[in-house]
Structures are given as C-alpha cells and as structure tokens.
Amino acid sequence: MKEADWVDLGPLAALRAKTVQPVDAGRRQLALVYRDGRFSAVSGTCNHAGGPLGEGHLDGDYLVCPWHHWKFHAVTGEGEPGYEEDKVPSYSLKEEGGRLYVDLNSETARTKKPHAPHPLSRPIVRGEGQVRVVGVSTTVMDPKFPRYSTSDALLDAALTHARDSGCETRLLRLNDLHFRHCEGYYSKSAHACTWPCSITQMDKKDQMDQVYEAFVHWADVMIVSTPIRWGAASSLYYKMVERMNCIQNQETIAGRHLMKNKVAAFIITGGQDNVQAVAGHMLGFFAEIGCQFPQFPYVAHSRGWSAEDMENNVRYVQMSKDLKAGTEALVERAVETAGLMLRGEGPSVPMVRGGRKGSELDVKAQI
C-alpha cells in the first residue's frame, strides 16, 4: 500500500461555497462536490470525451458532465445504473486545521465499459462504381397535403438526368427526416463537438445520420435544392448545415478531412429575389467543409421582388425548358468535376487551410 500523498485543496469555508467545482491538485484535476455537509472528490476528466466534470452539476447522487451528460456517482465515481463499468477515479479527503486535503495515492482505478464504435466513425473508403449523386431537398411542407415545389421539381429533374447518365442516385428530403437542431456543444468546447455529432451518438432516433452517411461516406456529388425564404435559404437548410459543424470541426481540432473529393452544386428558386446572396452563403459553407465546385455551380430562378403572384411563378418553372436544360447541364458539370477528382486528375496539393490553425497546440506555440 502506498503512503498517503496529501495535497492541500484550500480553506474549507471557501470550498463550501459551491456544490460542484473544479480544483487543481497538482498533477490531478479533480471535481469536488459538497453536499449535505460532506465533501467528495472524483477525477475531473470524463471517460467519454475528456469533458470537465468539475464544471458539471448534480443530478441526485450523480455528477453530470457538462459536455455530453454522462453521469458518475459523486462519491464512488461509478457510472449510472447500467453503466457501472464506466468508472472515474475517486479520492479520499480529510479536513484538518480549517483546510481540505486530498490523498492522491488513494486514487481508485478508471475503467471504461467497451462501447462499439458508431457506424459513421468507420474509415472513409470510396469503393468502385459510377459517380454517386445525392439530391437534398430542403423545402418544408405538410406531408399530408403536399404541394408543388419548384425547387423539388428541378431537383427531381437533376436526379433523373443523373440516373439517365449512368450515375447512382439517392434522394434525401429533409422534410421527411426527424432530427434535432444543433445544441451548441461546440460553444462549450471545440472538443465537445465530436464526429459523429454528439447528438447522433446520444440519440438513436435522430435521423441526421442519414445526411452524414450520404455526404461523408457515399456521395461524390451533392445537389442541394432550396426555396428562397425572406431572402435566405430555407429553415431546414440552416438546420442541416448547423448540424454539420461536426464535419468542419474535424478539420480544426483533428486534422481530418472528411469531405475529400466531394462536389457540391445548388438549385435555388423563389418568388422573390436574393439569389446571389443565398448562393453566396451556400458556396461559402460547402467550401468551408472542403467541397469542390463545377464551373457555374448553381442554377436559379426568381421573378423579382414584385412577383407576388406565386401561381405564375410555379407555372413558369413547370413550363420552362431553359430551367430544365440548365439543371441537366449543372448535373453534367458536377459529375464531370467529380470524375476528374476520382481519377486523380484534380488538385493534389496538401490540405492546408489558410488563416486557420489545426489545434490548441498551434495557438499556444504562438503565445
């Protein structure tokens, strides 16, 4: 048995002021809990993704990690019922002379229950086969009473042309998927936003995994269609791309390029104008996650600010041969661009992101 290694944590009066707090015990970061007149201490590092348990809160007898809500008993360090094998170290404490001390040599073992890796975390391997095109509809409507959608109509034309050209195709209608909004784990810490998304890992009912699977693992070409809503892309589009922060975040914290050899193109329609602003945002976002673009990467239609007669807007799209031809040409350009990259004829320079550093170590090195 090791001799006790007592470390002074501070005055009792000050430490009693908070129910849960992080404390520095020299070579250990601890989560200190004070409840019902008693102190307890466990490791300050969560088993899941290294979250700061000392910044969490109590739920009954359990300390809840602020990052992804894993729970550990505030005294024993054991995981919640059903997850007892997930255990963080706990420590012995003593009060003496108005101060609190922890014995670092009393540390219990950290144990981790085996967790199968999420299917999305598998290596990204592009198998043999024709160019793969996924269409993503971001229009919102009542599924019981579907209406005609100009953006959906052109997206359907795009996928039909892709199939006729020998491509494999898939269609994702975000309106049919049930997925949660981004809940800002990145705002807690860059490392709290994980791949796959933290929500996807925690909530088996969340269907954003279908988008991740298509974008990261399956598709070579992504054609995203949106109506114009108050001068912007649809609310479903923004709901989707906010949840894709976990893809972009891998670039900055892990140096992982998940969207390699991917081509993005866009279909934008609306009764009122603002096509270029909508396109600018979409281009900016998909460029940020590493996508390439064909020449002239979007087709669009708008009859202008004063065109409130939507029935005529719909009729125009239905009858326009130019819009259909333009959409088919967009598909051809996107597929051609994807083919170049798949054959290794695209850019092959190192993926260094200008003006951005890849880790906290890079930042610290410059301070």
Give dist(CA 263, CA 219) in Å, integer: 9
Tens of pLDDT, residues 241-295: 999 999 998 988 888 899 999 999 999 998 778 899 999 999 999 999 999 999 9
Residue 249: partners with Cβ closer than 8 Å, 6 or more residues away: 186, 190, 193, 195
Residue 286: partners with Cβ closer than 8 Å, 6 or more residues away: 222, 264, 293
The amino acid at 119:
P
- Inter-helix orientation angle 310-319/150-164, to 10°: 10
E strand or H helix at 315: helix 310-319
Looking at residue 363, its pLDDT comes to 41
C-alpha dist (Å) from residue 343 to 151, 279, 348: 31, 28, 12
C-alpha dist (Å) from residue 223 to 262, 282, 293: 11, 11, 11
Give dist(CA 151, CA 298) in Å, integer: 12
Looking at residue 188, its pLDDT comes to 86
E strand or H helix at 263: strand 263-270
Looking at residue 295, its pLDDT comes to 95
**What does DSSP say about strands 298-302 and 263-270: parallel, antiparallel, or unpaired?**
parallel
Looking at residue 364, its pLDDT comes to 44
Judge if the upstream peptide bond of residue 196 is cis by omega within 30 degrees of 0. Answer: yes
* Token duo for residue 250: 């891998």
Neighbours of 258 (CB within 10 A): 22
Give dist(CA 32, CA 37) in Å, integer: 13
Tens of pLDDT, residues 88-111: 999 999 999 999 999 999 999 999
Looking at residue 349, its pLDDT comes to 59
Rounded mean pLDDT of 217-239? 96
Residues 136, 175: contact at Cβ < 8 Å? no
Looking at residue 139, its pLDDT comes to 96
Q: Work out the end-to-end distance of the chain between its first and last CA atoms, rounded to an integer number of angstroms.
A: 43
Give dist(CA 182, CA 199) in Å, integer: 8
Residue among 237, 235, 209, 206 at smallest CA distance from 223: 237
* Token duo for residue 186: 């990145």
Looking at residue 356, its pLDDT comes to 61
Which domains, from first to last, does the chain contain? 6-106 (2.102.10.10), 119-343 (3.40.50.360)
Q: DSSP label at 129? A: S
Residue 105: strand, helix, or coil: helix
- Inter-helix orientation angle 321-342/150-164, to 10°: 50
The amino acid at 5:
D
Tens of pLDDT, residues 163-208: 999 999 999 999 999 999 999 988 888 889 999 999 999 899 999 9
**How would you write 206-248 as a 3-class SS string?**
CCCHHHHHHHHHHCCEEEEEEECECCECCHHHHHHHHCCHHHH
Q: pTM higher than 0.75, yes or no?
A: yes
Residue 307 clears pLDDT 90, i.e. is over it: no
Give dist(CA 301, CA 304) in Å, integer: 9
Residue 359 clears pLDDT 50, i.e. is over it: no
Residues 212, 82: contact at Cβ < 8 Å? no
Residue 1: band (very low, low, confident or very high) from pLDDT cuts 50, 70, 90 = low
Tens of pLDDT, residues 48-77: 989 999 999 999 999 999 999 999 999 999
Backbone angles phi, psi at 190, to 5 degrees: -55, -35
Q: Which residues pair with 28 in a beta bridge?
A: 25
**What does DSSP say about strands 221-227 and 168-173: parallel, antiparallel, or unpaired?**
unpaired
Residues 203, 180: contact at Cβ < 8 Å? yes
